[in-house]
Amino acid sequence: MSPVDLILTKLPDARRACEGWTARCPAHNDKRPSLSISEGDDGRALLHCHAGCTVKSIVESLGLKLADLMPAKTGQVLKPKPARKVIRGFATASDAVADLERRFGPRTAMWTYLNADGEPVGVVVRWNTPAGGKDVRPVSRRSAADGGWMIGAMPLPRPLYHLPDLLTRPSESVHVVEGEKCADALAELGLLATTSSGGANAPHHSEWAPLAGRDVVIVPDNDTSGTKYAVKVEAILKSLTPPARVRVIHLRDVWQDLLDGGDIADVVELGESADVVKAKLLSLANAAEPESPTALAPAVEPFKPFPVDALPQPLRRFVIELATSTGTDPACAALAVLTTLAGVIGNRVAAQVKRGWTEPAILWGAIVAPSGTNKSAVLTIATNPIFEMYKECRQQFTEQLEVFEVEKQRYEVERDRWKAAQKKGVGHSDPPVEPKSPTEERQIVSDVTCEKLAVLLQDNPMGLLLVRDELAAWIGSFDRYSSGGKGSDAPAWLSFYDAKPVLIDRKHTAGSIYVARSSVSVLGGIQPGTLRRLFGVAERESGLLARILLVQPPPHPVVWTDKEMSFATATDWADLLRSVIDIQPDTDDQGKPRPRLIPLSNDARRRYIAWHDVHGRDVADIDADDLKSHFAKLKGICIRVALLFACVDAVTNNHLLVDIGLKPITQAIEVIDWFKGEARRVYGAMGEDDEDRESRRQIELIQRKGGTITVRSLQQACRTYKTAGNAENALNKLANAGLGRWEHQASGPKGGRPKRVFRLNEMPPSTQPPSNALPAPTKPPAADQKPGFVDVDSVDVAAADGGDWGEV
Amino acid letter for position 69 = L
> CA separation (Å) from 239 to 13, 207, 333?
20, 12, 36
476 vs 767, more confident: 476
pLDDT reading at 132 higher than 90 = no
Collect all residues with Cβ–Cβ distance below 8 Å to 481 and sequence separation of at least 6.
Answer: 488, 489, 506
Which residues is 158 bridged to in the sheet?
206
Least confident of 90-94, 166-170, 463-467, 761-765: 761-765
Report the pLDDT value the prediction gives residue 749, as an integer from 0 to 100.
57
Please give the radius of gyration of the chain, using alpha carbons only, rounded to the nearest integer.
Answer: 33
Domain ranges of the chain: 3-69, 89-287, 312-393+441-686, 690-760
Residue 683 and residue 690: Cα distance in Å, rounded?
15
- Give yes or no for residue 643 having a pLDDT over 90: yes
pLDDT tens-place string over residues 429-451: 788 888 888 887 888 888 888 88
pLDDT of 48 strictly over 60: yes
Single-letter residue type at 16: R
pLDDT category, 589, cuts 50, 70, 90?
confident
* 3-state percent breakdown (helix, strand, coil) of the chain, nearest 5: 40, 15, 40
Tell me the C-alpha to C-alpha distance, in Å, between residue 530 and each of 470, 471, 526, 621: 10, 9, 7, 29
Whether the CB-CB separation of 564 and 327 falls below 8 Å is answered with no
Whole-structure pTM over 0.75, yes or no? no
> Structurally, what CATH architecture does the domain formed by 89-287 represent?
3-Layer(aba) Sandwich (3.40)
The answer to which of 21-30, 117-126, 664-673 has the lowest mean pLDDT is 21-30
Phi, psi for 222 (deg, rounded to 5): -85, 60
What is the mean pLDDT of the segment spanning 662-666?
96
Does CATH place domain 312-393+441-686 in 3.40.50?
yes
* Adjacency order of strands within the sheet including 174-176: 193-194, 174-176, 215-218, 245-248
Q: Give the separation between CA 46 and CA 56, rounded to whole angstroms.
A: 12
Which pLDDT score, from 0 to 100, does residue 501 have? Answer: 84
Cis check: omega of the bond before 157, within 30 degrees of 0: yes
CB 184: neighbour CB atoms within 10 A?
Answer: 18
Mean pLDDT of the chain: 82
Mean pLDDT of 763-789: 40
Span 352-411, pLDDT tens digits:
999 999 999 999 999 999 888 888 999 999 999 998 888 888 888 888 888 888 888 998
- Give 701 or 275, the one with higher predicted confidence: 275
Measured distance CA(477)–CA(472) in Å, rounded: 9
Confidence band for 340, pLDDT divided at 50, 70 and 90: very high
- Do residues 217 and 247 touch, judged by C-beta distance below 8 A? yes
User: Does position 773 have pLDDT exceeding 80, yes or no?
Assistant: no
- The Cα-based distances of 603 to 370, 607, 650, 659 in angstroms read 42, 6, 18, 11
Q: Of 81-85, 194-198, 366-370, which gets the smallest average pLDDT?
A: 81-85
- Alpha-helical segments (H) within 737-785: none
Percentage of the chain exceeding pLDDT 70? 84
Give the orientation angle of helix 662-686 with respect to helix 602-620, to 10 degrees.
Answer: 20
Name the CATH architecture for the domain at 690-760: Orthogonal Bundle (1.10)
Contact 121, 111 (CB under 8 A): no
For 764-788, letters b (16+ CB in 10 Å) and e give: beebbbbeeeeeebeeeeeeeeeee
Q: Over 50: is that where the pLDDT of 775 sits?
A: no
pLDDT digits (tens, 9 = 90+) for 139-192: 998 765 566 899 888 888 899 999 999 999 999 999 999 999 999 999 999 999
Spatial separation of the C-alpha atoms in residues 342 and 360, rounded to whole Å: 9
